[in-house]
Structure 1
Amino acid sequence: MLRCAVLDDYQGVALGLADWSRVRAESFREHFGRPDDLVAAIRDCEIVVAMRERTPFPAELFDRLPNLRLLVTTGMRNASIDLAAAREHGVTVCGTGSISTPPVELTWALILGLTRHLVSESAAMRAGGPWQHTIGTDLHGRTLGLVGLGKIGERVAAVGRAFGMDVVAWSAHLTEERAAAAGARLAPDLDALLSGSDVVSVHVVLGDRTRGLIGKRELALMKPTAYLINTARAAIVDQDALAAALRAGRIAGAGLDVFDLEPLPEGHELRTLPNVLATPHLGYVTELNYGTYFREAVEDIDAFIDGAPIRVLSP
């Protein structure tokens, strides 16, 4: 029976969400931050299931896993896997489906939490502190700027319109017609979107052209009263530049679900800055998504064992 490692199962739920009976599966709740620790844990496994980008698989890691034959990633896109190296080492890489609504919901949780100061107000209630010590920001009549208008961005736009916001959007290939179909106006360029928006939410795919898309110069264009939300990928925004802008009060705040290094180290300033609402990459962590991930991961495994791999990812 093939051995299968399920990585980064923080909640310890993977083995109960699907039928793993055709493999000898072991779930690891702890995150292996050091490659040596990861290799020691999975070197004998023929199959590995990776949760999104939590554990990278660069070329050098495949060199150290000679038994690996199948790597399953939850979702159909994983920028942290070197697909070319996997193919060179004879490793099949497969993906799973995912649901686009959970990141939308978390995006709005962050927006509302920031603009209505829910964390500080709730903390004051628990601690017996001052009653009603902040003044919230109205969303009705304000401008929501979306960097990216794909499946997730479209849904975020719909909620923004329901709040009575003026929705503008931009991405490199977005057209006026496509933006209008989603109920948004096309911004002339990224600079115009950043300078004119009260809430900026990032929803583009991470790639060579979007890595570092929003840096020090771009952050300086934002209103000092504006909020930045990133539930997409950390590398799209220069994290150091963002931390500096938040520290200096150059923008009102940020809602962040993604970070350059995850788990975010204890003591990192993005955990403690008062104008940051941070969550531990919860965008996709819901019952329906996890059910889809692990059920389809097992489908991938069974198909591979039967000699007919499905949902294969190509370099």
Structure 2
Amino acid sequence: MKVHILDDWFNTLRELPCFSLLKGHDVTVWTDHESDEAALSARLAAAECIVLFRERTAVTRGLLERLPNLRLISQRGAWPHVDVDACTDSGVLLCSNTGADGVNYAAAELTFALILAAMRQLPQQMASAKAGRWQMGVGRTLRGRTLGLYGYGRIARAVADYARAFGMDVLWWASEEGRARASAAGLHVAQSRAAFFEQCDVVSLHLRLTSGTRGIVTGEDLGRMSPRSVLVNTSRAALITPGALLAALKAGRPGMAAVDVFESEPLTDANDALLSHPKLIATPHIGFVTEDEFDKQFADIFEQVNAYSAGVPIHMVNPSVFAR
């Protein structure tokens, strides 16, 4: 198959063990991001299979209509960036493993790194030291403080383990089903949504982005947070109502935010109002960006390509296409 891999910005995949799974396919790897739909369709004109690098490129109806040779899109995880109905109408099968075993420890580790960075003022202290000004302020200890985890998934549970090792108390909030599972596990669940946001020194979001969770964290929620609290988001920016985080930081509740995700990515405008806000610590969506995590995720993706090529596709999102 003619396989095109999009958005491998650092040309990482060719050096990983999983890349050998594509032996025998005609593989093209694109190491930049093309946002213009016409230019992107020209690149992919011969593609029979597109491999997506998480959510870096949106697959729209307009793009699909320009790709008559395309038969398969292979990716991993959720697919809010893919128009599944348009895929079905165009006869393109979408395969995505959403039930992979194991924990994304890379994302969990970055989450806790951002918590530490915010509470200990690490970016500011480092900048001050390099500028020859030595210390710039006084940070805060994690031990004895409360970490609120919104979402009862595998990543959140890994972050909870790290927090307990640092002597933090962990408070949970989630869907009704998630709260029930947390309670059954003997964990401390907040008495109410309002209490969750009010009582936590740090709130970290760990929800999948779906139609039901889009904008689930509102300006009212953020306004309940303490002026000394921190909001951490390594999941998806769209979990927060558009514009609410910037407005909350301007209002001083929470007092700081540490995020790995933005509403528009890649975000390269240094003057962006949120990115440049003095109370924001930011990383450029690197929660999953480790060699170890890439190898695990793309092994799944490449196995989907091989399964389709062998006539036995797996992890089909729109199986009616294959049934045709």
- Could you state the TM-score of these two structures normalised by the residue count of structure 2? 0.90
Provide the C-alpha distance between the structure 1 equivalents of 2:42 and 2:122, rounded to a whole number of angstroms.
Answer: 43
| 1:40 aligned to which of 42, 55, 61 | 42
State the shift of 1:133 in Å.
2.1
1:234 equivalent in alignment to 2:237: yes
State the shift of 1:209 in Å.
2.0
Relative to structure 1, the CA distance from residue 182 to residue 167 in structure 2 (aligned partners, 3 Å threshold; closer, same or farther) is: farther
Percent identical among aligned pairs is 38
Provide the C-alpha distance between the structure 1 equivalents of 2:169 and 2:23, rounded to a whole number of angstroms.
Answer: 52
Q: Deviations over 1:10-48 (max 9, x none)?
A: 111223321233221111111112222221211221110
Relative to structure 1, the CA distance from residue 276 to residue 182 in structure 2 (aligned partners, 3 Å threshold; closer, same or farther) is: farther
Relative to structure 1, the CA distance from residue 176 to residue 86 in structure 2 (aligned partners, 3 Å threshold; closer, same or farther) is: closer
Letter in 1 for 2:48: E
| C-alpha contact 1:59 1:82 (8 A) present in aligned 2 | yes
1:221 matched residue in structure 2: 224
Provide the C-alpha distance between the structure 2 equivalents of 1:178 and 1:34, rounded to a whole number of angstroms.
Answer: 44
1:301 equivalent in alignment to 2:305: yes
Letter in 2 for 1:179: A
Instruction: Compare 165-174 and 228-237 and name the one that shifted more.
Output: 165-174
Alignment of 1:162-311 (within 5 A): 162-174=165-177, 178-180=181-183, 184-266=187-269, 267-311=271-315
1:67 matched residue in structure 2: 69
| C-alpha contact 1:145 1:169 (8 A) present in aligned 2 | yes
State the shift of 1:248 in Å.
3.6
State the shift of 1:311 in Å.
2.4
Relative to structure 1, the CA distance from residue 230 to residue 176 in structure 2 (aligned partners, 3 Å threshold; closer, same or farther) is: closer
Q: Structure 2: any 5+ residue segments left out of the alignment?
A: 320-324
Q: Deviations over 1:234-284 (max 9, x none)?
A: 100124121122134332111111111100131212322221111111111
Provide the C-alpha distance between the structure 2 equivalents of 1:175 and 1:151, rounded to a whole number of angstroms.
Answer: 12
Alignment of 1:150-161 (within 5 A): 150-161=153-164
Letter in 1 for 2:83: D
2:86 matched residue in structure 1: 85
Letter in 1 for 2:104: S
Letter in 1 for 2:95: C
Provide the C-alpha distance between the structure 1 equivalents of 2:113 and 2:212, rounded to a whole number of angstroms.
Answer: 28
Alignment of 1:121-160 (within 5 A): 121-129=125-133, 131-160=134-163
Q: Structure 1: any 5+ residue segments left out of the alignment?
A: none
Q: Deviations over 1:90-141 (max 9, x none)?
A: 2111225474211100000100000000001111121212x22211122111
- Secondary structure, counterpart of 1:185 in structure 2: coil
1:24 matched residue in structure 2: 26
2:9 matched residue in structure 1: 10
1:49 equivalent in alignment to 2:71: no
1:111 equivalent in alignment to 2:115: yes
Provide the C-alpha distance between the structure 2 equivalents of 1:172 and 1:298, rounded to a whole number of angstroms.
Answer: 33
Provide the C-alpha distance between the structure 2 equivalents of 1:111 and 1:155, rounded to a whole number of angstroms.
Answer: 14
Provide the C-alpha distance between the structure 2 equivalents of 1:235 and 1:125, rounded to a whole number of angstroms.
Answer: 35
Q: Deviations over 1:169-199 (max 9, x none)?
A: 1112246652246563111332221111110
Provide the C-alpha distance between the structure 2 equivalents of 1:60 and 1:216, rounded to a whole number of angstroms.
Answer: 34
Provide the C-alpha distance between the structure 2 equivalents of 1:293 and 1:166, rounded to a whole number of angstroms.
Answer: 32
Letter in 2 for 1:61: L
Provide the C-alpha distance between the structure 2 equivalents of 1:251 and 1:117, rounded to a whole number of angstroms.
Answer: 15
Instruction: Compare 79-88 and 148-157 and name the one that shifted more.
Output: 79-88
Count matched residues: 312
State the shift of 1:286 in Å.
1.0
- Secondary structure, counterpart of 2:243 in structure 1: helix
Relative to structure 1, the CA distance from residue 163 to residue 87 in structure 2 (aligned partners, 3 Å threshold; closer, same or farther) is: same
Relative to structure 1, the CA distance from residue 180 to residue 158 in structure 2 (aligned partners, 3 Å threshold; closer, same or farther) is: farther
Provide the C-alpha distance between the structure 1 equivalents of 2:186 and 2:117, rounded to a whole number of angstroms.
Answer: 24
Q: CA RMSD in A?
A: 1.9
Letter in 2 for 1:296: D
